[in-house]
Amino acid sequence: MSETRVFLLPDLGEGLTEAELVSWHVAVGDEISVDQPIAEVETAKSTVEVPSPYAGIVAELHGQPGETLDVGKPLISVTPVSVAGTAADDAAPAEPAGPVVEPAETELGEPAAEPAKAHPEAEAYREEEKAGSGNVLIGYGTPGGHGVARRTRARRSSVALAEPADTTPAGTPAEDDLTLLRTRVPGRLGAVISPLVRRMAREHGVDLGELPGSGEGGLIMRRDVEKAIHAPVVEPAETTPAETPKSPAEPAKTTAAPEGTDARTGLPIAARTPVRGVRKAVAANMARSRSEIPEATVWVDVDATGLLELREGLKAGGAQVPGLLAFIARFVTAGLKKYPELNTRIETASDGSQEIVSFDGVNLGIAAQTDRGLVVPSVRAAEKLTARELDAEIRRLTDVARQGKATPTELGSGTFTLNNYGVFGVDGSAAIINHPEVAILGVGRIIDKPWVVNGELAVRKVTELTLTFDHRVCDGGTAAGFLRFVADAIENPTTLLADI
């Protein structure tokens, strides 16, 4: 009988370690082809479809919609079929029992071991697998049509690629890890295990992610799995409060809070919401920003009447008019050319030394509120675009971000962020810098306010600009100079908009 191939959830880009399973596109028993989309998953960056690297019959789906899966853990099991559409011949050379888990960091699309003689139908499947289509899923893909797999790591010796039968003596655990292919366990950088140990753990329901390794560097050995298999089962503790015996001298005490009640406040717990996906990524990034960046904030009120009058004049002429945010984006890119310190990044070397990295260009991030949380897609090479071109790209990026279809490149390549929180009806905000950037500019709502114009009081359209910056890359003079540049451009827009 042909082996079942287990496809592990690949790294979906940006070094992400997990993804939430949104939906399956296939069911057990379906016949699938190479590169056919099999599932939709949501990462901290976006929602993507995962294609299958194997053709065959779906044997098992490893996960339910709504479940969070670790990168490198099983996603789907596929049983190969012959070119005639039937299961591979039982007369094929004997194979190890149980499915063979493909390692996450080996040569993609290439079998881990080749038997000396393969059945013709099985060999046909291998050739189909090697051919691939070349379709790539961020950080993963099948090889192109040259019959040669793209390798992601140095070639291992043939000894390391050979997988022995299950008859390996139990008393030689060291040989398991010296002669078998090793794969990395997600979340445990030092723990690598053999396919034989993986299979033993899977058959007995042992969670390798929670198992400490007794080998060198935390290596999980066969003896560790055997110990976990024979370990006594610990019953979970009672969740209901136990009664404390009463005595004549003291009243009974409650040893635990009632179920569904918060122990600290005494209030009923209404709901528990897991922090995952975009919310988890935002929380981690904001916490890192606040812990690493010595930020400072400057702000200024700006008379935006001139900019609004310019837009009204363009509308009256029948021209297609960019949105206000596109105009401000144009002013920001011009300001960053004059004050490039705010368009940088600080990198820390392994020895603790730091350097400021400057960029030849501006990838302008636009903060966008979506149903999945706050995301920041970026307009690449924004300094080269006119206000109209910026407007079109901002609208496109906002739309794909709200659909959850923005790519990791679009969401993770910004060098400076522009945040329009005025749409929420607020005037200002001490924003948190989008790490690893060094500054973020916020724009408040535009409202009527009393303003002095040529010595006389008038009602003008006023907004507030707020700049939060990393004090390590510049001082207040630079930050104030940039903020004043953008403010002056809003008050006198025609000086910078000759190219719209």
Residue 146 · residue 130 · CB < 8 Å: no
Tell me the HSE value of 133 on the side-chain side, using a 13 A CA sphere. 12
Smallest CA-to-CA distance from 328 within 425, 444, 461 is with: 444
List the catalytic residue out of 25, 119, 230, 471: 471
Please report where in the chains the tokens 């960046």 appear, as a residue.
Answer: 293
Q: What is the signed CA dihedral for 447, 453, 455, 457, rounded to 10 degrees?
A: -30
For the chain, state the CA radius of gyration. Answer: 30
Annotated catalytic residue 471: yes
Burial class of residue 447, CB neighbours in 10 A (0-12, 13-18, 19+)? middle
Please report where in the chains the tokens 């060291």 appear, as a residue.
Answer: 174
Question: 3-state secondary structure string, the chain?
Answer: CCCCEEEECCCCCCCCCEEEEEEECCCCCCEECCCCEEEEEECCCCEEEEECCCCEEEEEECCCCCCEEECCCEEEEEECECCCCCECCCCCCCCCCCCEECCCCCCCCCCCCCCCCCCHHHHHHHHHHHHCCCCEECCEECCCCCCCCCCCCCCCCHHHHCCCCCCCCCCCHHHHHHHCCCEEECCEEEEEECHHHHHHHHHCCCCHHHCCCCCHHHCCCHHHHHHHHCCCCCCCCCCCCCCCCCCCCCCCCCCCCCCCECCCCCCECCCCCCCCHHHHHHHHHHHHHHHHCCEEEEEEEEECHHHHHHHHHHHHCCCCCCCHHHHHHHHHHHHHHHCHHHCEEEEECCCCCEEEEECCCCCEEECEEECCEEECCEECCHHHCCHHHHHHHHHHHHHHHHCCCCCHHHHHCCCEEEEEHHHHCCCCCCCCCCCCCCEEEEECCCEEEEEEECCEEEEEEEEEEEEEEECCCCCHHHHHHHHHHHHHHHHCHHHCCCCC
Q: Which residues are catalytic?
A: 471
